Every structure is written in C-alpha cells, then in structure tokens.
Chain A
Amino acid sequence: MAAEAPSPAAARVVVTERRYLSRQTRRTIAFYTFIAPWLAGFLLLGLGPMLIGFLASLTNYNGVNLDTLQFVGLRNYERIFTADRDLGLAVSRTILWTMLNVPIWLVASFILALILDQAVRARGFFRTVFYLPSILPIVAIVWAWRVMLGQNNGLLNGILSITRGAPVAEIWLGGNNAIYSLTVISVWAGLGSGMIIFLAGLQGIPESLKEAARIDGAGAWRVIRHVTMPLMTPVIFFQLILSIIGSLQQFTIPMILAGGQLGSRPPDSTYLYMIHVNLQTFASQRFGYGMALIWVMFVVIILLTVIVFWTARYWVYYEADIK
C-alpha cells in the first residue's frame, strides 16, 4: 500500500487509517490474503479449466488448432447418445467394475478393521503390513501383478500347473478375466488405507456403550450389529461415496497394463469410461467430444452423490451427543 503512495503526506494518511482499522477488519484482510494462493489456484486451475472444458464441449476443438474451431451446439452430446459405438461397452464395463470394486473393498477393509479392533497380538505389525501396498507407486504395483498373473511367467499359473500336473496358460490379465484381475489389484492396493480409516472410527466408539450392551446379554455379533455398525455408518457413508467416485474415474491400471501410452487400448473387459475419454481426446484428437463425455460423467457422478446423500437419512446414524 505504502509503495503506491504518491507523497509522504498521503502515506501518512494511509498509516493513520491503518491504525484505525478495526481488529476484525485487519483479521478479515489477513484471512483473505492467507487463503489467496488457494483461492487463485481454485479459480484459475480448477473452476476456469472446468468451464473452458464445458465451452470446448460445445465445439469441434481438436486440442491443437484454434483456426478450425467451430461452435457445434449440442452435437457432441447428441453423438454420445446416438452414434458412439464404444460407449455402451465403456458404460457397462464401468458399472460392472464399480459394482465389483466398491463392495468388495468396503466389506473387506471393514472386516479387517473389526478384527484388528479386538485384543489381537502384533496389531502394529498387521497394521503396517496391511498399509504397505497403499504406499507403493501404481506402476510398480502393476509390474508386481504382471508377474503374479502373467500368462507364461505368472506365479498363479505356475501354482495351478503344479496342482494340475500340466502347464496352465490361463490369460488372467486379458479376455474376460481382465476385469476380475483389475478388481484384485485395486482391492490389494486399497485395502490398507480403507482398514486404517475404519479402524480409527472403531476406536472412537466408547467402550462403555459396547460394555452396556454386553451386560444386557448381547453376544459379540449383536454388539457389532446393534452398537458398532450404527455408530460406524457415518464413516461407511463417507468411504462409500469416495470409493464410488474413485472407481468411476479409474483408468490408470488398465492403461498401464495395456502398454502405458496415451493411445493404449486395454482389452474390452476393462474398457472403462475414462479410457474411452482418453482415447477419444488424445488418440483420436476429438477434444471437444472428449469434454462432452467428461461432462456427462461429471453430471452422473454428481447425481449419484446426491442419491447416496439422500439415502443417508435411512441408514446413516447421526447422534451428536454420543461422541
């Protein structure tokens, strides 16, 4: 402020004014100054591109040339629902994949957390081992699973060969199996972080509540069913939403498995929606169309989130005074 002041007199006025700014005004200025990097980033790198993406979805933009750019109205959106041969495949695979991944991950990590919430030995050891895969970079994870599930050099086929007494060359990472392998890899990589979050939730449940139920004669299962589960529903709810959103956007594992280039096309079994988006945008250079696909996905995710939030009133248990 002082740097812009034209004369010492004016500067003095600014200084006196500042002294009379109320404490609250000064704090408000400080607050907005402090959050400015984030707010600017959100507007310029988040909201801005988002809107540009939407505008691009109304054009034939190819991602490179602006001279050939034409406004095409809703034609890209029309095309999605009428003329995209691969779309049906992408949508059905994405739904199947999400329906496999979300429940398996959610139930498995919840059960692990329940187990570790008991008085088991070496709890710290198990916690560390379970979390370890979550820290590994995705490319390394994919390589590890390539030699687990590979056709000619995989451990699984190796073990099956021994048990069957003849060479087994099942294609786990391709054909119809690919989507199940993808689920295994994804659950493997995410089990630990899910377990950690559920475990923290479980440890926040007051022992007195469980004790009270036990004194009333409830067995272990009924304590879980009628005390633990209801109190855990807010955590389950949050994890459910995040894992649905994450699953719908999956593309990295199939893309790396397919060769790890922008144009790599995985087997039909794992031809997920976001892979379709990437291929359309980068390999086919239909940027405008890719953006339309993305906005359809965005709206679907928002709708799904709203629906899950709406169902929350029937199964999520909020009672402030228990915590």
Chain B
Amino acid sequence: MATEIASAPPDQAAAHQVHPHQRERLALSYVVLIITTIFLLLPIVWLVLASFKSDVELSAFPIKVLPEVWRVQNYIDAVTMIDFPRYAGNSVVLATTNASLTVITSALVGFAFARIEAPGRGRLFGLVVALLMVPAVVYVIPQYVVFARIGLVRTWWPWVLWGISASPFHIFLFRQFFSAFPKELEDAAEVDGCSLFRIWWQIFLPNAKPAMAVSFILAFVWVWGDWFSPLLYLTDANTTLAVKLANAYVDPFGNPLITVTLAASILYALPLIVMFFIGQRYILEGVVTTGLKG
C-alpha cells in the first residue's frame, strides 16, 4: 500500500492537503482539552484555596482569590471540633474490612466462574451480569428492614456480610482476569493432586495482584465515600466521616462553619486521592475491563 501511494503523485498531493486540516483539528482539540481541564480542576483548586480562608473572607465582595492569611487553624478546628480521629478510624476500619472480604470472596467466586466448568455455570454467570444492571433501590431499603429485624443495625456487621457475599462488579472483574490465564497453569497442578482450592490460593491469587489491587481500591473508595448506608445504619458513635461531614461542623448557634468543613473535606478526600495516584494504572484498567464506574 505504501509503495502505491509513493508511486502516485496525486495521492501524495492529497495527503499534503489534509495536513492543515489536521493541524486545525488538533488545535481545536487542545482548546477543548484545556477548557475541560479548567472545568474539572477549578472546583478542586477553589476548594483548597477556600479551606484556608475565613468565612468572612470567603463571602468577600469583590472576591479574593488567595487568602489574606493562610488559616491553618481551619484544619486544626476540623480535627478538634468533632472527634475526627474516631470517625476517620471508623471509616478506615469499615472500608478496610469490607474491601478485604470483597477481594477474597470475589476472587474465589470469579475463579470458579472462570476456571471450573460445571452444569449451570453459564446461567449463573448470566445472573451475575444481570445483577450489574439491577437497580439498587429495589433491595437497599428492604435489606435495611431485614437487618433491623435481626438486630444488626447500629453495628458494622452489614459491611462484613456485604463483603463476604462478594459483589457482581468484583466477581466480573476477577472472572475476566482469571479467564486469560493459560490452561497449563492448573493442569500440571491438578495432575499432581492439588485441590482446586489450593490451585486458587497458591497459583491464581499470587498472580492476580493487579486485579486484587483494583478490587481493593474500588471497594475501599466505595465504602469510604458511601454516605447513605452509614446514615441509615449507624449511630453517632460508630458512624463514618462521610455522615459527619455532611452537617457536623456548626457554631454554637447551629450555623454551618463552611471553611472548617472545607478543610475537613480535604482531609477526608486526601486518602482516596493518594490511593488513586498510587494505583492509577490498575484502577483505570479495572474500570475499563468491567466497563463500569467504580
């Protein structure tokens, strides 16, 4: 094909004509990319700047971009005005527990769907895929009533049970990941009399670190950010940062302390941002594999 073009001058001329168009298109692309970047970053940058201002400064007219004095006090207030360490601790324990359990059980279930042929497997996997699309509204509230009836509200047990029962999203992720493993990997082990559980534990899991990282981070991010479940289930003593952040920072008259809350929001979001930058490559791949938002 290349030689054909090279030997035909008119085609070459045409190729040269395309060039300015292409340059124009690229220029337009950069304009869109830069505008989008501003749109996406501006609220974050503004949040950071505002978190160092006083409430009066925040509503100043005309607006001030930079704080007059950088009020680190907002961050100190954020940590001391409410029992921040306790709620942060609650968030950490809940998110870590749920994410660890989710990773382990989803990896086991995903392994079964990927590597063990059994009657009914196709249909059950169809069910997993269908569950990805079932609207959560239909079970979230009745599930709460079931948990209330068996006395598990106001405790962290629901997060443990949600973790143990795996999740269609994570099962799908592991199933896709394990499907790509070569057949010889388990054949040799099986001939040696290795049980399927040991094949999973000693051969597949150690080779699934990227998938486990994505699964863990996405589950962690979900629990950490989830605002409705802790609001519904937990009490003031064992709830998470997400719930407290929505309305806990107020002055003695009940008026919201905005800039202190902003500082707390940043402290609250920071662990996720750090996780994102560390596991970025894996996370983006994971999102792509399943075609779903975390």
A249–B287 touching, CB < 8 Å: no
We find that the number of chain B residues with CB closer than 8 angstroms to chain A is 97
CA distance A132 to B108 in the complex (A): 30
B40–A305 touching, CB < 8 Å: no
Which residue from chain A places its CB closest to the CB of B284 in the assembled complex?
A: A196
A contact residues around B261 at 8 Å (CB) = 143
A/B interface sample: 18 pairs, CB < 8 A: A37-B108, A39-B124, A42-B131, A53-B142, A111-B32, A132-B44, A135-B272, A137-B225, A137-B227, A138-B242, A139-B227, A143-B261, A147-B46, A248-B135, A260-B227, A262-B232, A277-B137, A277-B141
B contact residues around A194 at 8 Å (CB) = 293
Write the nearest CB–CB distance from B118 to chain A, whole angstroms: 4
Given the known interface contacts A27-B117, A167-B61, the answer about A130 and B293 at a Cβ–Cβ threshold of 8 Å is: no
A144 at the interface (CB under 8 A from B): yes
CA distance A155 to B65 in the complex (A): 9
A27–B33 touching, CB < 8 Å: no
Interface SS of B by simple majority: helix
Which residue from chain A places its CB closest to the CB of B277 in the assembled complex?
A: A128
Within A103-127, which residues are at the interface with B (CB < 8 Å)? Answer: 111-112, 115-116, 118-120, 126-127
> Which 6 A-B pairs rank lowest in CB-CB distance, beginning with the nearest?
A41-B165, A260-B246, A158-B63, A137-B225, A53-B142, A31-B118
Which residue from chain B places its CB closest to the CB of A257 in the assembled complex?
A: B246
Q: Which one of A2-10, A70-78, A174-182, A291-299 is at the interface? A: A291-299
B138–A31 touching, CB < 8 Å: no
Quick one: CB contact mask for B168-182 with A, threshold 8 Å, 1 for yes? 000100000000000
B131–A188 touching, CB < 8 Å: no
Interface SS of A by simple majority: helix
CA distance A239 to B290 in the complex (A): 11
B contact residues around A252 at 8 Å (CB) = 227-228
Within B237-294, which residues are at the interface with A (CB < 8 Å)? Answer: 242-243, 245-247, 258, 261-262, 265-266, 268-269, 272-273, 275-277, 280, 283-284, 287-288, 291-294
CA distance A290 to B145 in the complex (A): 12
B contact residues around A28 at 8 Å (CB) = 118-119
Question: Interface of B with A (CB < 8 Å)?
Answer: 1, 18, 21-22, 25-26, 29-30, 32-33, 36-37, 39-44, 46-47, 50, 55, 58-59, 61-63, 105-106, 108-109, 111-113, 116-119, 121, 124, 127-128, 131, 133, 135-139, 141-143, 145-146, 161-162, 164-166, 171, 195-197, 200, 221, 224-225, 227-228, 231-232, 242-243, 245-247, 258, 261-262, 265-266, 268-269, 272-273, 275-277, 280, 283-284, 287-288, 291-294
